[in-house]
Structure 1
């Protein structure tokens, strides 16, 4: 019995009631639509974003390939990247052999701490330009998941904000109506004290 009473209290805006206003019904629909769009739209936006990011990362892994190179200059020491973290790749001048057999040089990201003449691995894109290493499958999955969650939360925040703005506007209309009613009915409430 208590569950039925709780459901009646929860759905009070849709029940027949002499005190129910059109704005109450409109507000109930706004709340319902906002929550449905937040849940369903956020889920769809998150899944679509995660799938698009994963597809992009897969294409990136497919388009980039590793080739051997030789350091022309020493790669130097690791660069501090914050509290206790160290970024172990630095830009250094390298030489490699192009597919047509010609020798090429350029600056690429390589592991730090190597001397000139050391063999390193660099990454090229399909057009033969130097590129960074593609993300691993695990890193790509983690990043795609985070992007999907970010998209879902962003959509949810936008929808929640729009719903809050609509409800605020409804409240302003109610306050204006109450003020007009009070101005009309207030003086009829009896004698004024001297």
Structure 2
């Protein structure tokens, strides 16, 4: 079954997968009108923990709302960072709950799928029951990198290189890329959708 990947990077790992139609900035996910299930990666900077520092385009937050509506209409999965305010804005269910669309939330770490940082992530899934989701890999141990240096010490100073607990940051591109194993897993979830 074909799967549509929405809001992907132009150099997305999804473009290497079979039977995947990728909607990047040139193809424009706003034009998608079915019929395939979707994997949606709408921009998160307007919804994340650091949203007050983000330079968000006027229409950008609506892309996430569109992603939610497309997942509800065609089935599939939407990915956003843990702590995203999209969950409250769109009344998405907390983990362990199911909404009126049959959608549910699953929390993962992208580190389990090969990301060098932990990158805690929420998935909103519609059209697949939790027992039908492909097995989730578990990678024990800490990640070698972080998304951003945000740790502060008791005295209010920041953790710097050379101090215990410091880890290097991943690049901007690495923050935005979906690891190949996670991309394949999300596509497999979408392929199992019954809408």
More helix by share: 1
Query: Which range, TM-score by smaller chain?
Result: under 0.3
Q: TM-score with structure 2 length normalisation?
A: 0.16
Q: Rg: which structure is higher? A: 1
Q: TM-score with structure 1 length normalisation?
A: 0.16
